[in-house]
Amino acid sequence: MRTLKRFEDLEIWQEARTLAVMIYGTTAKGKFGRDIGLKGQIQRAAVSIASNIAEGFERKTNKDFIKFLYYAKGSTGEVRTQLHIARDLEYLSHEDFNEIVIKTDLLSAKIGKLISYLTYTHKHANAQTR
């Protein structure tokens, strides 16, 4: 894996940012736009994904980055839960629901793979220093 200097270069951060913008667009319409509680909650959770990726990266240690990636991964689950509730309330079309859920599933998987990679490299780096 190449060394990245900025969180903006991370594919997962770019995808998380796109997801947040998509959530904002989706929650601005119809009944969803009038449900201040659920709308605000899902928007905060979506923004939290990209924000945690950025914060963890900026801390400049694998241990902290992994911790914040777990927070970001947790927020993808929070967004998916809120999408299910919004769908149950008929705030989302079947197509919008599926499109966003697929994006959150893929993003969660990519975050998980990065966590695994960083955990592996962190353990092996620590083993070599002993």
Q: Show the CA angle centred on residue 16, arms to residues 118 and 77, nearest 5°.
A: 80
pLDDT digits (tens, 9 = 90+) for 73-116: 999 999 999 999 999 999 999 999 999 999 999 999 999 999 99
Q: What are the backbone angles phi and psi of residue 123, rounded to the nearest 5°?
A: -65, -45
Domain residue limits, the chain: 10-128
Hey, what CATH topology would domain 10-128 get? Answer: de novo design (two linked rop proteins) (1.20.1440)
| Assigned token pair, 112 | 């998980």
pTM: 0.90
pLDDT score, position 130: 47
What's the CA gap between 123 and 126, in Å, rounded? 5
pLDDT score, position 1: 46
Helix %, strand %, coil % of the chain (to 5)? 85, 0, 15
pLDDT digits (tens, 9 = 90+) for 9-66: 999 999 999 999 999 999 999 999 999 999 999 999 999 999 999 999 999 999 999 9
